[in-house]
């Protein structure tokens, strides 16, 4: 078994959709980024790539490439899954944390888990997502951004 760690953060801005875990969440602001800025999926992709020693999402999906402008992070997660499958690996487990003051994530977590499990071709029981706040501290607490952390384990098929 191999293990990788991922982390991502994006700024919250007006006139953008808030996409997390592949779903649109109603909120007055969205995350700024070259792609859909889904911090949760970005952290998960980095964790999986790290476990397979394949670099990071910047290497595979650079923000200098217009092909990835407004890209759907679920589709990019599918590409990451294909990359590790070609190396003979499959995802064993994902554990991720969304760090956001608002909005509340609890109503959306099960749908996120289902989306991620479907794309990774694993059971929902192999994908865990949690959410926490920073109790008003820092850029997350002041509503300036959202962060996510993830750890992934992969095994030989």
Residues at the annotated binding site?
A: 8-10, 34-35, 42, 56-58, 61-65, 100-106, 132-135, 139
Q: Is 65 exposed, middle or buried (0-12, 13-18, 19+ CB in 10 A)?
A: exposed
Indicate the annotated binding residues for a divalent metal cation. 8, 10, 42
Query: Distance between alpha carbon 9 and the CA centroid of its chain, in Å?
Result: 10
Nearest to 157 by CA among 92, 89, 93, 91: 89
Which residues, listed in sequence order, are joined to residue 149 by a DSSP beta bridge? 7, 97
Q: Each residue of 41-60: b (16+ CB within 10 Å) or e?
A: bbbbbbbbbbbbebebbeeb
Rounded CA gap, 18 and 50, in Å? 26
């Amino acid at each position: 078994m191999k293990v990788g760690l991922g982390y991502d953060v994006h700024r919250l801005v007006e006139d953008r959709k808030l996409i997390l875990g592949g779903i649109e969440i109603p909120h007055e602001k969205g995350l700024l980024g070259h792609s859909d800025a889904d911090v949760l999926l970005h952290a998960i992709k980095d964790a999986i790539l790290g476990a397979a020693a394949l670099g990071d999402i910047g290497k595979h999906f650079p923000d200098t490439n217009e092909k990835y402008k407004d890209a759907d992070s679920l589709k990019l997660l599918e590409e990451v899954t294909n990359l590790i499958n070609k190396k003979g690996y499959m995802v064993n487990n994902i554990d991720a944390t969304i760090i956001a003051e608002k909005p509340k994530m609890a109503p959306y977590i099960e749908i996120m888990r289902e989306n991620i499990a479907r794309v990774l071709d694993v059971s929902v029981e192999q994908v865990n997502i949690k959410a926490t706040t920073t109790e008003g501290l820092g850029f997350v607490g002041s509503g300036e951004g959202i962060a996510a952390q993830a750890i992934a384990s992969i095994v030989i098929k």
